[in-house]
Amino acid sequence: MINVDVSQRRKFFAHGNVYLPHVVTIEKIVEETYDTKTFYFNFKDKRLREEFTFEPGQFALFSIFGMGEAPFAISSSPTRRDHLECSVRQIGRLTNAMHRLGVGAEMGFRGPYGNGFKLDLFEGKNVIFVAGGIGLSALRSLIWDVIDNREKYGRMDIIYGARSPADLCFKYDLDTWETNEAINMITTVDRGDENWTGRVGFVPQVLEQVAPEPNDAVAVVCGPPIMIRFTFPVLEKLGFSPEQMVTTLEKRMKCGIGKCGRCNIGNLYVCRDGPVFTYAQIKNFISGEY
Amino acid sequence: MAGNKKINKRDIGKLLNEWNQGFTVFVPSREDKVTAFAKWDGVNISFMEWHRNTVIPPKTNFFPLMEEMFSFREEEDGYHTELPSSDKHKQLIFGIRPCDAKALSILDMAFKEGYEDPYYLSGRKDSLLVALGCTNPYDSCFCASLGGGPFDSTYVDIMLIDIGDELLIEEVTNAGRELIARTAGLEKVTEVDEARAKEVKKSSYNKVTRKINTEGIQKKLQACFEDKDFWEKVSAKCLSCGICTFLCPTCYCFDINDDSFKKQGARFRSWDSCAFPIYTRMPMENPRSEKWRRVRQRVCHKYEFFPTDFDVIACVGCGRCIRQCPVNWDITEILNNLPAKA
Amino acid sequence: MEQKLRQEAKALLEQDKVDYIIGYEKGSLKFTTTPLITKDKNDVDRLVVNPLIVNNLSVFLTEIRGRIGIVAKGCDSRSIISLIQDNKVSREDVVIIGVPCSGIIDLCKVERLVGEERDELDDVTREGDKVAIVVDGRRREFPIEEVLFDNCLGCKFPTPQEYDVLLGEATSPVSEMTASRARIAELEGMSSQERWNFWKGEFNRCIRCYACRNVCPACFCERCFVEETEPQWVSPIPKWQDNLMFQVTRNIHVAGRCTDCGECERACPMNIPLRSMARKMYETVEELFHYEAGLDKAAPSLLTAYESVEAEDLIR
């Protein structure tokens, strides 16, 4: 049977209808890269502003009324709740429309959906974050949650890479994490430019070089599908078991609640049973279905 | 069975008229050039002369081809959204076949689990299914292989059995019993009638000749999941259109799109199909751009994934997919010839 | 013809002249045939030729890569030539096994004629210019014109125009055009308001299954205009306006490449008379450009080739 407890999320439904979005207003826009923006937004409804909560790793469906909806991870930290954030790469019809919005514009928001990261899986363990490109936005809420509760966790490694220096997202965060002594921050790019003095190399290769220890560790991976597919074998080689590898997946979504049928991997729906999965859960379907 | 009633086929109009007072009655109809369930016009009972199921399944009554989810408009102070009126009058589906009724119970599971789907459930609640058992199954029907049958009454409120000039009325659920109790003009059933009904049921069951073997089918599908050669072979002639999925009574995949003009519009949901290449398309990749993966998904969702979550195969053997497919792609042929893995 | 077909197909596979054979085999329902696509020479004994081989198999040529031995009736062979004109298929990559066609039987017409569904029929056979239908042991005969598909009536090119092997003697048209375009004539006789109302009613039923598009050999675009999101030409929501828009645009896109094979109408599960629209477009192309698709593989594809000296009588 299905193990989804939605009872406590019903209080975030608009008028008792799971498909009806709330209206949110954009408060600030940060240009991360030439094609990625982070939107800071808040509910128009005061009660929601105060009561809304979510777990790191959950996502929401954002609407541009008249255009459609798309899923984005809620990339702000659940512990810092004066606003919410999502990061959007400009890549299609809806995201192009989102990028044309300015501060003060309104969007639709419904969520939070998905299973989020189970923090008790990570407590007491060394956590290794492996992210690529905008994949970092899906892990960001977890990273900040771990930093804000640092004493509950062991070592913290972040390996982050992008195609080029111009594609690095959340540069302000990367700088902060670089200077944080409790974090081992490694940034890499696939190709450098004239000004780049840091590491050059694909994320899976850099991971292999850094070679984190698998004992008492959990690896959290997010990035383009091809990066994820190459990262899992590296982690296996380093001695991580499939239960020690966690990822958050992205699929085309419409309903976000496990009904419209399209985001499935086998009998698991990325929106309902995920988007956070362990490698153990999906490895039988990995070839081709993901 | 004591308490069963019967009615002469000539008097069906009177019966439906009575039921029309408390329900919106839907009957099989040929009005729109293709057979489907439509609101009864109050007069026409020619559907009693057909012996077959409709092309369009009655899932349209609860999960229509397109449905408005909510409307929105932009005003000076921002966006406002509005839900459509949830005034869904109680529906009585007359002449539904047992396979389609079972299909509705499968759709119920999908739309109820986890987050409840308000649009489907508001229509389904209080609906009544008055089934007509099949005395003349098509050669494409294979309901008997999936635990059902032409007179399977498990998922209906009332079962009607054609015993010649009359229909024997079997009350199945409390709702069905209550409806019959307050219906006038019904006659009592004789022993001869009951014997005839039993005979009709048995002979109809034997007419379902197409069979599939569902024993261990989940394991068999799991075992051949990676067998690209097999799936490429069986999917070769598929055209990736949506006929099988749209006419399937248990298929429920949908798409959500907005329709707007100037400052107002609405969000709609409409039928979608896993057979379409763009069903899973993302900007940078498409996990099922290859046809064999989509065909595999369709078969495995019905016979492996859905049963894993809900303990029931998401197929009722109605055979519409086989009859209407432009290339006669046949799911029973695939299921009966799965590669045997050592 | 079947024997010859099976021998040819087997030889082609054995001599490695083709990678695939695409033909017809007996279907899983009464009086149905289904495409057979195989690399295995042992499968060729399932190949059939009869008046029920309805599919236009050339639709698979743009999907299956490799050298293909394909069974083609008159209309199908024209679709193949049209694909060659479009540079989608190379002549060297196909071995066309031509079937001289005397018309294909439309089971829906048979059902209407005898008032029984196909499951109740014992037999349907063609005998010269008659069809014999047996129901409950009782045999009835009808003129063949009453049961053939509309586009088979008045078909001008029943024998394949281009072939490597011809399985029999060339055939001649079954009847002249009038019967074939009876419905179109009816539509032409309507006022434009009546016609608009007619099509509005028809497209209210369309469920956007895209069978018409997917069964059409001329619709081979990897990304169809309905799937385009920037801009969104047609809404995916199946309202009649967008359904009509889709079909009209599709007809315009295949104009000059449609060979009136009738598959779109046959495939439509909602009984929308799509061929009326397609055939009208076909005739409009013929009238304006004096051109019919798929007759000459060396001819440039009508609407994608340009010459500085062109017919200009269409500019009025």
Domain annotation covers residue B245 = yes
Give the chains touching C; criterion: ≥3 Cβ pairs < 8 Å.
A, B
> Last residue of some domain: B170, B188, B207?
B207
Size of interface B-C (CB pairs under 8 A): 98
pLDDT confidence of residue C253: 95
Span A194-221, average pLDDT: 93
Per CB-CB distance under 8 Å, the chain A contacts of C230 are 92-93, 96
CB A104 within 8 A of CB A25: yes
Amino acid type, A287? S
Tokens 């929105």 found at: B72
Question: Looking at residue C128, which CATH number applies to its domain?
Answer: 3.10.450
Residue B141 pLDDT > 90, yes or no? yes
- The C-alpha atoms of residue C57 and residue C20 are separated, in whole angstroms, by 13
Strands of B264-271's sheet in order across: B78-82, B66-75, B264-271, B254-261
Count other C-beta atoms under 10 Å from residue A275's C-beta.
Answer: 27
Q: Do C229 and A96 touch (CB under 8 A)?
A: no
Number of domains in chain C: 2
Nearest 5 degrees, angle CA B282-CA B285-CA B289? 95
Tokens 């069975």 found at: B1
The partner residue sitting opposite A44, judged by closest CB among B78, B113, B115, is B78
Do residues B79 and B110 both lie within one domain?
Answer: yes
Task: Judge whether B306 is closer than 8 Å to chain A, CB to CB.
Answer: yes
Residues in C whose CB is inside 8 Å of some CB of B read 27-30, 32-37, 55, 59-60, 63-64, 117, 119, 205, 207-211, 213-215, 227, 235-239, 263, 266-267, 269-271
Do residues B20 and B151 both lie within one domain?
Answer: yes
Per CB-CB distance under 8 Å, the chain C contacts of B138 are 119
Q: Do A92 and C232 touch (CB under 8 A)?
A: no
Nearest chain A Cα distance for residue B145, angstroms = 23
| Residues ≥6 apart with Cβ < 8 Å to B85 | none
Nearest chain C Cα distance for residue B279, angstroms = 10
For residue A91 the two structure tokens come to 């890549």
B320 backbone dihedrals φ, ψ, rounded to 5°: -60, -35
> Last residue of some domain: C92, C113, C147?
C147
Number of domains in chain B: 2
The partner residue sitting opposite B115, judged by closest CB among A18, A44, A250, is A18
Which of B67, B140, B295, B328 to probe by mutation at the C interface, max C CB count within 10 Å? B328
Domain annotation covers residue B246 = yes
Q: Do B254 and A261 touch (CB under 8 A)?
A: yes
Q: Is the pTM of this model over 0.90?
A: yes
Computed from CA positions of residues A162, A167, A173, A174, in that sequence, does the dihedral angle turn out positive or negative?
A: positive
Span B294-316, average pLDDT: 95
> Last residue of some domain: C147, C178, C201?
C147
Do residues C261 and C117 both lie within one domain?
Answer: no
Do residues C14 and C134 both lie within one domain?
Answer: no
Percent residues over pLDDT 70 in chain A: 96
Do residues C113 and C170 both lie within one domain?
Answer: no
CB C209 within 8 A of CB B324: no
Per CB-CB distance under 8 Å, the chain C contacts of A92 are 229-230
Q: What is the DSSP string of A46-109?
A: HHHHHH----TT-EEEEEETTTEEEEEE--S-TT--SSEEEEEE--SHHHHHHHT--TT-EEEE
Task: Judge whether B218 is closer than 8 Å to chain A, CB to CB.
Answer: no
> Last residue of some domain: B207, B233, B248?
B207
Nearest chain A Cα distance for residue C243, angstroms = 19
Residue B1 pLDDT > 70, yes or no? no
Domain annotation covers residue B296 = yes
Which of A18, A19, A93 to probe by mutation at the B interface, max B CB count within 10 Å? A19
Give the three-class secondary structure for B35.
Answer: coil
pLDDT confidence of residue A286: 62
Do residues B183 and B275 both lie within one domain?
Answer: no
Per-window interface: B 45-104 vs A, CB < 8 A = 69-70, 72, 74, 78-79, 81, 83
CA distances (Å), A264 to each of A250, A252, B252, in order?
11, 10, 14
Q: Do A66 and B309 touch (CB under 8 A)?
A: no
Instruction: Nearest chain A residue to B83 by CA: give it.
Output: A20
Nearest chain C Cα distance for residue B168, angstroms = 25
Domain annotation covers residue B341 = no
How large is the angle between the packed helices B291-300 and B228-235, nearest 10 degrees?
90
Per CB-CB distance under 8 Å, the chain B contacts of C205 are 32-34
pLDDT confidence of residue B2: 46
Size of interface A-B (CB pairs under 8 A): 128
Do residues C124 and C227 both lie within one domain?
Answer: no
Give the three-class secondary structure for B231.
Answer: helix
Percent residues over pLDDT 90 in chain A: 72
Do residues C182 and C156 both lie within one domain?
Answer: yes
Interstrand relation of C165-166 and C94-98 (parallel, antiparallel or unpaired): parallel
Residue A274 pLDDT class (50, 70, 90 cuts) = confident
For residue B125 the two structure tokens come to 């609640």
Do residues B325 and B276 both lie within one domain?
Answer: yes
Amino acid type, B316? V
Do residues B186 and B317 both lie within one domain?
Answer: no
Q: Do B237 and C37 touch (CB under 8 A)?
A: yes
> Last residue of some domain: C147, C170, C198?
C147
CA distances (Å), A68 to each of A59, A92, B70, B195, B231, in order?
16, 12, 13, 59, 34
Do residues B233 and B318 both lie within one domain?
Answer: yes
Q: Do A96 and C230 touch (CB under 8 A)?
A: yes
Q: If chain C, 316 residues long, is cut into consecutive pieces of 10 residues, what is the mean pLDDT of each piece?
A: 91 94 94 95 93 95 94 95 94 95 93 90 91 92 92 90 91 82 93 96 96 96 92 94 97 94 95 95 92 91 79 65
Torsion over CA of C237, C242, C243 and C248, rounded to 10 degrees?
A: -150
Q: Do A260 and B254 touch (CB under 8 A)?
A: yes
Do residues C37 and C141 both lie within one domain?
Answer: no
Q: What ipTM describes this predicted complex?
A: 0.92
Give the chains touching A; criterion: ≥3 Cβ pairs < 8 Å.
B, C
A78-82, A94-98, B61-65, C112-116 — which is least confidently predicted? A78-82
Task: Judge whether B83 is closer than 8 Å to chain C, CB to CB.
Answer: no
For residue B88 the two structure tokens come to 């869904």
The partner residue sitting opposite C28, judged by closest CB among B32, B247, B333, is B333
pLDDT confidence of residue A78: 85
A110-114, B164-168, B194-198, C308-312 — which is least confidently predicted? C308-312
Instruction: Nearest chain A residue to C230 by CA: give it.
Output: A93
- The C-alpha atoms of residue C286 and residue A25 are separated, in whole angstroms, by 58
CB A107 within 8 A of CB A62: yes
Residue A152 pLDDT > 90, yes or no? yes
Residue A283 pLDDT class (50, 70, 90 cuts) = confident
- DSSP annotation of C47: B
| Residues ≥6 apart with Cβ < 8 Å to A29 | A37, A38, A39, A40, A101, A102, A103
Domain annotation covers residue B212 = no
Domain span at B119: 5-207
Task: Judge whether B170 is closer than 8 Å to chain A, CB to CB.
Answer: no
CB C107 within 8 A of CB C122: no
Residue A80 pLDDT > 80, yes or no? no
Do residues C167 and C283 both lie within one domain?
Answer: yes
Span B59-73, average pLDDT: 96
Instruction: Nearest chain A residue to B297 by CA: give it.
Output: A266
Count other C-beta atoms under 10 Å from residue A134's C-beta.
Answer: 27
Computed from CA positions of residues C72, C76, C81, C86, in that sequence, does the dihedral angle turn out positive or negative?
A: negative
Do residues B228 and B193 both lie within one domain?
Answer: no
CB C175 within 8 A of CB C145: yes
Instruction: Nearest chain B residue to C22 by CA: give it.
Output: B237
Do residues C188 and C76 both lie within one domain?
Answer: yes
Residue B342 pLDDT > 60, yes or no? no
Nearest chain A Cα distance for residue B228, angstroms = 11
Per CB-CB distance under 8 Å, the chain A contacts of B304 are 266-267
Tokens 């048995």 found at: B202
Do residues B307 and B260 both lie within one domain?
Answer: yes
Do residues C136 and C242 both lie within one domain?
Answer: no
- The C-alpha atoms of residue C273 and residue B240 are separated, in whole angstroms, by 21
Nearest chain B Cα distance for residue C65, angstroms = 12
Per-window interface: B 97-126 vs C, CB < 8 A = none
CB B158 within 8 A of CB B111: no
CA distances (Å), A152 to each of A119, A148, A177, A245, B198, in order?
10, 10, 18, 19, 70
Do residues B203 and B234 both lie within one domain?
Answer: no
Per-window interface: A 77-96 vs C, CB < 8 A = 92-93, 96
Amino acid type, A227? M
Per CB-CB distance under 8 Å, the chain A contacts of C232 are 93
The partner residue sitting opposite B328, judged by closest CB among C29, C270, C271, is C29
Do residues B223 and B253 both lie within one domain?
Answer: yes
For residue C66 the two structure tokens come to 């490799």
Residue A252 pLDDT class (50, 70, 90 cuts) = very high
pLDDT confidence of residue A15: 83
Do residues C27 and C44 both lie within one domain?
Answer: yes
Give the three-class secondary structure for B136.
Answer: coil
Q: Which of B341, B331, B340 has its CA nearest to residue B234?
A: B331
The partner residue sitting opposite B236, judged by closest CB among C28, C29, C37, is C37
Domain span at C110: 105-147
Residue B28 pLDDT > 70, yes or no? yes
Computed from CA positions of residues B15, B17, B22, B25, in that sequence, does the dihedral angle turn out positive or negative?
A: positive
Q: What is the mean pLDDT of chain A?
A: 90
> Last residue of some domain: B180, B207, B234?
B207
pLDDT confidence of residue B285: 85
Residue A7 pLDDT > 80, yes or no? no
A237, with CB counted inside 10 A (0-12, 13-18, 19+), is exposed
Instruction: Nearest chain A residue to C232 by CA: give it.
Output: A93
Tokens 């899986």 found at: A121
Do residues B159 and B305 both lie within one domain?
Answer: no
Do residues C198 and C143 both lie within one domain?
Answer: no
For residue B43 the two structure tokens come to 């007069």
Beta bridge partners of A219: A128, A245
Nearest chain C Cα distance for residue A180, angstroms = 44
The domains found in chain A, sorted by start residue, are 6-113 (2.40.30.10), 119-248 (3.40.50.80)
Nearest chain B Cα distance for residue C198, angstroms = 12
- The C-alpha atoms of residue C190 and residue C200 are separated, in whole angstroms, by 14
Give the chains touching B; criterion: ≥3 Cβ pairs < 8 Å.
A, C
Do residues C61 and C138 both lie within one domain?
Answer: no
CB C86 within 8 A of CB C257: yes
